[in-house]
């Protein structure tokens, strides 16, 4: 059995629902074959999210950590890189809005995901669920958690692998009809994430296929 920790976020800003946490719960209920999933909900708060994540890693002792967050994406959006800056576009759930502050004062500028991101994106896509490699997790709490996760895994030296995935809105969310942003049923999101986790558990190395961009 491969031990996996999956985190999702509580709702934030105008939303009352966050499909990232709903998907994490679905993965816990029905984990992929051979995987044992612990699911933990993180606060959408700069100051409290990383202590909660650290606690979850300590108690679950996972081999793989997959953090999930909501973003208006077209499918399973696999983040490549976390950057060392908080530049919040609005208030977090504690009313804080850090601007241009480092996440770790003496930390590196960025960390790459240690999951095989292209292999995972291809596997999810081949299973018929939209998926892509993303070059930015933004500069709100998701990037904060992604950077903090990768810093923790790099410095604790336990060989755990980790990464971050943004999931789309669900069709019922008001922003979808209001702004016409893309959406995906949460069951489809969970199905895609099962493929992603099985792929990540089975493969430590990535495939070398073009997925770059000029933009
Ligand atoms: N998405 C936000 C934070 C919490 C979440 O689910 C983000 O993309 O930063």
Q: What are 192-214's pLDDT values in tens digits?
A: 999 999 999 999 999 999 998 88
Between the CA of 62 and the centroid of ligand 1 the distance, in Å, is 22
Domain-located, residue 19: yes
- The answer on pLDDT for 143 being more than 90 is yes
Nearest CA to 163 among 6, 15, 46? 6
Instruction: Tell me, yes or no, if 203 is annotated catalytic.
Output: no
Domain-located, residue 211: no
Domain-located, residue 127: yes
Nearest CA to 2 among 58, 60, 63, 57? 63
Domain-located, residue 207: no
Domain-located, residue 152: yes
Between the CA of 50 and the centroid of ligand 1 the distance, in Å, is 14
- The answer on pLDDT for 27 being more than 90 is yes
In whole angstroms, give the CA distance from residue 103 to residue 135.
18
Number of domains in the chain: 1
Ligand 1 and 8: CB distance under 6 A: no
Between the CA of 183 and the centroid of ligand 1 the distance, in Å, is 16
**Which atom of ligand 1 is closest in space to residue 70's alpha carbon?**
6
Domain encompassing residue 38: 2-202
Q: What is the mean pLDDT of residues 80-109?
A: 98
Average confidence score pLDDT of the chain = 98
Q: State the CATH number of the domain containing residue 36.
A: 3.40.630.20
In whole angstroms, give the CA distance from residue 137 to residue 20.
14
Domain-located, residue 21: yes
Ligand 1 and 191: CB distance under 6 A: no
**What pLDDT shows up at residue 176?**
94
* Confidence grade of residue 24 (pLDDT, cut at 50, 70, 90): very high
**Which atom of ligand 1 is closest in space to residue 141's alpha carbon?**
9
Q: What is the mean pLDDT of residues 78-94?
A: 98
Q: Per residue, what are the HEC states of the chain? A: CEEEEEEEECCCCCCCCCHHHHHHHHHHHCCCCCEEEEEEEECCCHHHHHHHHHHHHHHHCCCEEEEEEECCCCCEEEECEEECCECCCCCCCCCCCCCCECCCCCCCCEEECCCCHHHHHHHHHHCCCCEEEECCCCCCHHHHHHHHHHHHHHHHCCCCEEEEEEECECCCCHHHHHHCCCECCHHHHHHHHHHHHHHHHHCCCCCCCCCCCCC
In whole angstroms, give the CA distance from residue 129 to residue 194.
11
Domain-located, residue 210: no
Q: What is the mean pLDDT of residues 81-85?
A: 99
- The answer on pLDDT for 215 being more than 90 is no
Mind listing the pLDDT tens digit for each residue in 124-141? 999 999 999 999 999 999
Domain-located, residue 14: yes
Q: What is the mean pLDDT of residues 133-158?
A: 98
* Confidence grade of residue 56 (pLDDT, cut at 50, 70, 90): very high
**pTM of this prediction?**
0.98
| Sequence-ordered list of residues with C-beta below 8 angstroms from that of 191, at least 6 positions apart, any chain | 127, 129
Ligand 1 and 18: CB distance under 6 A: yes
């Amino acid at each position: 059995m491969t031990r996996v920790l999956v985190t999702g976020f509580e709702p934030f800003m105008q939303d009352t629902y966050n499909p990232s946490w709903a998907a994490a719960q679905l993965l816990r209920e029905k984990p992929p074959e051979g995987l044992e999933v612990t699911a933990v909900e993180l606060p959408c708060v700069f100051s409290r999210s990383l202590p909660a994540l650290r606690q979850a890693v300590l108690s679950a002792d996972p081999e793989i950590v997959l953090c999930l967050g909501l973003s208006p994406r077209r499918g399973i959006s696999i983040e490549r890189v976390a950057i060392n800056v908080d530049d919040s576009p609005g208030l977090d759930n504690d009313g804080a809005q850090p601007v241009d502050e480092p996440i770790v004062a003496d930390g590196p500028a960025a960390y790459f995901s240690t999951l095989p991101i292209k292999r995972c994106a291809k596997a999810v896509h081949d299973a018929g669920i939209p998926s892509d490699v993303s070059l930015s997790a933004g500069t709100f709490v998701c990037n904060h958690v992604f950077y903090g996760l990768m810093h923790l895994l790099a410095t604790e030296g336990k060989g755990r692998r980790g990464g971050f995935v943004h999931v789309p809105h669900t069709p019922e969310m008001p922003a979808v009809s209001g702004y016409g942003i893309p959406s995906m049923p949460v069951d489809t999101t969970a199905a895609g994430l099962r493929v992603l986790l099985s792929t990540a558990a089975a493969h430590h190395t990535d495939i070398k296929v073009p997925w770059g961009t000029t933009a």
